[in-house]
Chain A
Amino acid sequence: MSSESGRKLKFHILRYDPQTPGDKPRMETFEIEEAPGMTVFIALNEIRAKYAPALQYDFVCRAGICGSCGMVINGRPDLACRTLTAKFPKGEISLMPLPAFELIGDLSVDTGKFMRAMTERIEGWIHDESKDNVNLDQLEARMDPDTADKIYELDRCIECGCCVSACGTKRMREDFLGAVGFMKVARFEIDPRDQRTDADYYDLIGDDDGVFGCMTLLGCEDTCPKDLPHQSRIAYLRRKMAQVR
């Protein structure tokens, strides 16, 4: 290990435990020394181990693939695990929980409950009555290789919730589905295994809490950590849904 010392980082973190009677939301500041390659994940672990043992946050994979650690980092929703502290020249980093989700405490929010409800709402699974009667001994149904690649492109969503937090429409409409839900619908809509028709999708998203409510502010497109094509898919779904009669 090198002995050279890094710069001082200042973390301003929202603290609030809704389960402690009388507790009030407040910002707390922690100073730590930066290390090479330090991420917000590494920094938060150090802060918890040294200064704030009860600090709540969520990490699982710490590799940018599980979507657990969405939080608002210097004003922008992002994955904390893969955010390098070196990205912030001033060395000051503010961390807030993702808005639009139920707060568990400090930086931890309940995205799980939201995402399950979202999947139930759009019935986010392959609709094919024969899928339980597939003879597993036989060759699988063929799929055009390009179609498979296209489905994967849209299937890469990790349900981190950044798009929902960055959504202006969601702030105004509590029941707005949000970009994560549209992306799922877009994914199933191009999947030849799913037997649903546009009319079926219209029943799910053909209203103001669905794709017609989107004000096209596109915070989703700006913040999606997986660079999913929200803008083009929302536009595509809207055109499709507008054609349903």
Chain B
Amino acid sequence: MKIVYTDSLVIGGGLAGLRVAIATKQRGLDTLVLSLIPAKRSHSAAAQGGMQASLASTGKGEGDDEDVHFSDTVKGSDWGCDQEVARMFTQTAPKAIRELAAWGVPWSRVRAGDREVIINAQKVTLTEKAENEGLITARDFGGTKKWRTCYTADGTGHTMLYAMDNRTIELGIPVHERKEAVALIHDGSRCYGAVVRDLITGELIAYVARATTIATGGFGRIYAVSTNAIINEGMGAAIALETGVATLGNMEAVQFHPTAIVPVGILTTEGCRGDGGLLKDKDGYRFMPDYEPDKKELASRDVVSRRMTEHMRKGKGVPSRYGDHLWLDITLLGRAHIEKNLREVKEICEYFLGIDPVKEFIPVRPTQHYSMGGVRTKPNGESPTLSGLFAVGEAACWDMHGFNRLGGNSVAETVVAGMIVGEYVADYCANTRVQIDTSLVERFVKQEQYVINTLLARTSGENPYELKAAMQAIMMEKVGIFRNGADLQAAVSQLTTLLRRSRNLAVRTKAPHANPELVEAIRVPRMLKIALCVAQGALARTESRGAHSREDHPERNDRDWLKRTLATWDPGSPDSPTLSYESLDILKMELPPGFRGYGNDNTIPHPDTAVRMAQIAQIKADNPTFDRFEMQRVLMPYELPPRFTGKNERAGIGVK
């Protein structure tokens, strides 16, 4: 049995995982990253439009700060997020972007003077201050009060990931590529690392570590059409679930992005609309102002996706052989802007659609995009139930996004959470030692070897490609943008059937080494478990919140549902997850639940909301001299590693 020992084991080589690895390496810990692929190919690279951080260096960002970013994030989450985590995030985001600037990201910069932009389909002249020339600039994104999304053209994730991986290489951190973690090693209370399959040789290797961090991204590929990279199959969350001890949070909270191209589902950035692009129907009519007169195309993602779907249901979609779609019109932005700031979008249109977006409309429709749910963690990134197991980035339910994530907040989360959780992982490693019985390691390795041997030995059985396609179709049809009890019930029952069938998978190719069919057969049962967590969570949640929208329960029900879904997989009942709930305490919130400002307010209030509002009013009245920092501290104190607690300077105003 091959065993590799390290201090900090990071599973996943995207932005979040690499940032945790850098943090632990810089604290002097032996650090090792596992990745399915070369790290620079991770899905982080696909983030086009930008990263939110309240730098306030551009004219349209004036007045922005951590408080405004916090408020946007909490409202965007439909009050489903952990507000302390949202505070940790918004406080640290400016530092993360400045760190990446020092590490080599060529952030687009403020250019002093006048420039013409498109706002609400009108040409507007903006003037940037001479004294802000050369600072990091920002664009508009949905659901935000200020222009806060910092970018490098529309290749933001790419430049961030390259700078981060280059830093990883500079620090000499090994990235073991083409390695897949297939099980976590644990004793029911502590995690000791992972059983890992080498995707080239097929060998199983045990990686034993003081701390194990899951940073494997989301699980979009349980849907047939997703903007996600094809590796985003939720395997990190699945192996955490299979411990029977770690919990997954809010798995039903799945985001659909308004503008993926039809039919292939590749994303066109929210920056298209942020920069002035419009949504139009089959008559060329701009319909969003009719639904959301205030934010129009730049309402929160969940809202825009629902409005688009509603509009198509009224017969206003553009018919195509791949079903109805709508148009994204960026022609009004002009060639120069598109070729400079939306060039990936232009390339995608040219290569995958054969159209020139400077002259033609882009066919789009809402498409699965982001997993708000994931491995449930405490604010320090550690599983509340399995010590030594951490999760970070999209793989985690940390939980700063609640039921809807703002555009520009995910790539920001990867690096911000990476910085913060990285420090806590390092603390954990510094304060603990591993004492492990190698027979425990051996038991886990043997178990996985047995699964693989059984798959290879079975002469006939179910086809993994077919089961996966069936699962993906069910998720598309029944667990989509609009949900209802009957469809969800059917989805759960059909997925359960597929899960049972997946116990009889067989592969036609018997190679024990590099064998994509075997890889699929190993993953499909795990994907089905993830899919069941999503469907069952959605069925149980009889309200609508953020991206979870129940046609049969259209109201947001704070009274009964202001709580986080937790899923565990009890080995004793192998066909379904066990759901439990964790209440969000309104009496500790800095921003008590309110109206997001979209459509009609049909919220069923929680009795604590009024109590907390009165408390906050009293605190404010009692402390009339407090500045915003002092006020924040009394309203909702939160922890952060000391190196991130400093006040963030902003151009022209200092640290006010």
Contact = CB atoms under 8 A, between A and B. Distances in A.
A39 B352 contact: yes
A17 B511 contact: yes
A104 B200 contact: yes
B420 to A, nearest CB: 13
B648 A119 contact: no
Given A2-B321, A134-B99, A151-B106, A139 B651 contact: yes
Interface in B499-543: 507-509, 511, 513-517
Contact of A137 (B95, B465, B517): B95
A193 interface: yes
Interface in A78-121: 82, 84, 104-105, 108, 111-113, 115-116, 119-120
Contacts of A59: 230
A174 interface: no
* Chain B contact patch, size range: 35 or more
A199 interface: no
Nearest to A102: B200
Interface stretch (A49-57, A202-210, A211-219): A49-57
B98 A65 contact: no
Contacts of B95: 136-137
Interface string B340-363: 100010011001111000000000
A126 interface: yes
Contacts of A120: 169
A156 B158 contact: yes
B460 interface: no
A65 B108 contact: no
Contacts of B94: 136
B246 interface: no
A5 interface: no
Interface stretch (B40-48, B279-287, B399-407, B477-485): B40-48
Given A37-B263, A37-B264, A124-B166, A143 B99 contact: no
Contact of B155 (A39, A104, A125, A152): A152
Nearest to B646: A137
Interface string A23-66: 00000000000001101000000001100011110111111111
B516 A54 contact: yes
A68 B135 CA distance: 34
A189 interface: no
Contact of B46 (A65, A84, A144): A65
B38 interface: yes
Interface in A120-153: 120, 123-126, 128, 131-132, 134, 136-145, 148-149, 151-152
Contacts of A20: 511
Contacts of B162: 155
Nearest to A61: B229
* Chain A contact patch, size range: 35 or more
Contacts of B595: none
B611 interface: no
A14 interface: no
A53 B507 contact: yes
Contact of A126 (B41, B103, B511, B517): B103
Contacts of B190: none
A129 to B, nearest CB: 11
Contacts of B169: 116, 119-120, 124-125
A238 B535 CA distance: 59
Nearest to B465: A49
Given A128-B102, A134-B102, A139 B41 contact: no
B649 A138 contact: yes
Contact of A152 (B153, B509, B650): B153
A60 B135 contact: no
B155 A19 contact: no
Contact of A113 (B106, B163, B177, B647): B177
Contact of A66 (B41, B106, B133): B41
B158 A193 contact: no
A146 to B, nearest CB: 8
A63 B41 CA distance: 12
Contact of A149 (B108, B163, B178, B647): B108
Nearest to B134: A142
B104 A65 contact: no
A60 B163 CA distance: 20
Select the residue from B45, B102, B266, B469 with max chain A CB neighbours within 10 A. Answer: B102
A191 interface: yes
Given A53-B465, A116-B38, A66 B229 contact: yes
B98 A134 contact: yes
A10 B517 CA distance: 23
A156 B40 CA distance: 12
A54 B515 contact: yes
Given A54-B516, A136-B99, A137-B95, A126 B104 contact: yes
Interface in A149-166: 149, 151-152, 155-156, 158-159
Select the residue from A120, A126, A131, A152 with max chain B CB neighbours within 10 A. Answer: A152
A67 interface: yes
Contacts of B229: 60-62, 66
B135 A111 contact: no
B37 interface: yes
Given A125-B167, A134-B98, A137-B647, A84 B351 contact: yes
Contact of B351 (A82, A125, A139, A144): A82
B540 to A, nearest CB: 34
Contacts of A172: none
A223 B417 CA distance: 38
B386 interface: no
A112 B103 CA distance: 22
Interface in B218-252: 229-231
The 6 closest A-B pairs by CB, nearest first: A142-B134, A112-B38, A54-B509, A136-B95, A151-B106, A137-B646
8 contacts: A19-B200, A61-B230, A84-B354, A116-B38, A141-B101, A142-B134, A155-B159, A158-B40
